[in-house]
Structure 1
Amino acid sequence: MKITTLTRAAFICGLGISLSATVSFAASVTFDFQEKPSGWKRKLSYTHDDIGLTVKALQTNQKNIVSKAKVRTDVSSGLGVKAGKGDNNLKIDSKGREETVVFKFDTNVTIESITFSSFRKRDDFSLSGGALAALTDNVVQTYTFTEDYSSNRFDVSALDAWNKKRGKFKASSFKITSITVSTPDPVVKPVPPLTVVPLPAAGFLLLGALGALGLTRRRKRA
């Protein structure tokens, strides 16, 4: 074996190699609004897997004037809205005024699904002012978004739905039991580097001996 090969091997064994790597993953996070009840509040705050969420509510009257409303959660049906003293529905509804729940995250996320409850078939909602979507099941439905919606804010509004039999619009109403999101880009977490092993005294002696051996061979060849 060549001297240079032995020297390199001794050097690597003595010092070790400092390596680092990264692990990438993307996980879905579900915020459950049936987990525990709350009183009527202007704002509800949640944290799940290092993602922060603030929930508020707005109401828009027939004159298109927007004002604040209150939100509340309960274990039986989830998140609801109270627009004022005369609002006894306690759902997110469009009766007389359009109620909206505002989900504000502390980072950009991709919305995957929303689970609705306490609605009637064909009640309508919109996401952040976009096209309306109809709830086609009865009582409970998880609506999965097939398009990529990424933002730090999502507004879910109740919209009047067209009643084909009666030939007119009807008010929609529902509650929200959960919302599921994911980070749009993989989360990268560093892996701690390998501990550097100091060169022991025997290692220095080995290097010295190998160096002397190499010098002796050079002299004999000369």
Structure 2
Amino acid sequence: MPDSPRDPDSPRIAVFDAYGTLFDVHAAVARHAGAVGPDADRLSETWRAKQLEYSWVLGLMGRHAPFWDLTEQALDYALARYPGVDRALRAPLLDAYRDLDAYPEVPGTLRALRAAGWRTAILSNGDAGMLERAVASAGLADDLDAVLSVEAARTFKTAPAAYRLATERFGAAPGAVLFCSSNRWDVAGAAAFGFRPVWVNRKGVPEEYPDHPPDRVIGSLDALL
């Protein structure tokens, strides 16, 4: 099980990023890989990269938009970047993104944490509608105490206001929150905010932000148990 919070009297709270951490962001293209063709992996990587880029640019401008709108715009860019992919796949790909697969260890990890007395939550850039459908389709609704969207803060991670949603929801100090993300930039933002960040480095990629290190590095979420 994860280490107890630094203050033994603090609540035990585990907060998870959604996309890339609980849900496989490449599952949508993978479901249609045969139809997409040889550019499937590149299309999926570009779609994800642009989705995040758009959120960071808006955040720096002090503006906000539903994450679903950015997801659509990013797919449009990716399809334009790879014109060999049939644009008729746009609607099926977007529909698949609404129902992304959870990583295999996710349900068991969440249930084990809650059985051990931890409160669990999602904190995501995804808008509320996206998250509600993703959680429902993955069968995780009963395994979470809260599903938090940055919509409420009108910004995106890594803005401190986005992470503050979790501390406000649970009435806890940042140091009481174990925050898990597969996105290294998200882990850096969580560390800067004062969370106890865990980097879920599923692909074994190199370190990027040594000045904002995680408390732990794991290969999958079941390593928390």
TM-score (norm 2): 0.28
